[in-house]
């Protein structure tokens, strides 16, 4: 599994009926130096390093609704396309590098959705 981690339950807040959700977390994650290194796990010398990140991701504003049943991918559910914003910051204490995103900007979203689904054995 890639980039998927268990998070505290209270990091996620979902109000599907209202078309809203929020995912907030401060945690430590590895700074792998670059995307290819992260994927291939062939790291430059000295990496990975542990970095601290904080983010606040929000979904809101219903744009569309759909029931999706996808037999090929083995899932089904009720979904909402929504707006979304991200606010992000990161700090690598080893290198001192830090990043802060701009404030939440709803015009920056390319695609966002929330929903309730069942897949795998729950789909069959």
53 token code pair: 């990140």
- What sign does the dihedral 38-44-48-53 (CA atoms) show? negative
Applying CB under 8 A, does 54 fall inside the site for other proteins? no
Instruction: Give yes or no for residue 62 binding other proteins (CB under 8 A).
Output: no
Selected binder of other proteins within 17, 45, 71, 110 (CB under 8 A): 110
60 is a contact residue toward other proteins (CB under 8 A): no
Report the C-alpha gap between 37 and 59 in whole angstroms.
Answer: 30
Contact between 95 and other proteins by CB under 8 A: the answer reads yes
The interface with other proteins within residues 16-45 (CB under 8 A) comprises 16, 21, 23, 25, 27-41
Q: Element (H or E) spanning 62, and its range?
A: strand 49-70
């Amino acid at each position: 599994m890639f980039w998927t981690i268990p998070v505290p339950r209270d990091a996620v807040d979902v109000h599907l009926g209202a078309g809203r959700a929020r995912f907030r977390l401060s945690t430590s994650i590895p700074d792998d130096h670059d995307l290819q290194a992260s994927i291939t796990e062939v790291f430059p010398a000295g990496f990975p390093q542990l970095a601290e990140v904080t983010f606040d991701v929000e979904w809101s504003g219903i744009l569309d609704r759909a029931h999706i049943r996808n037999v090929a991918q083995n899932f089904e559910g009720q979904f909402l396309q929504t707006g979304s914003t991200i606010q992000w910051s990161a700090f690598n204490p080893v290198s001192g590098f830090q990043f802060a995103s701009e404030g939440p900007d709803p015009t920056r979203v390319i695609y966002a959705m929330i929903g309730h689904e069942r897949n795998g054995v729950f789909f069959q």
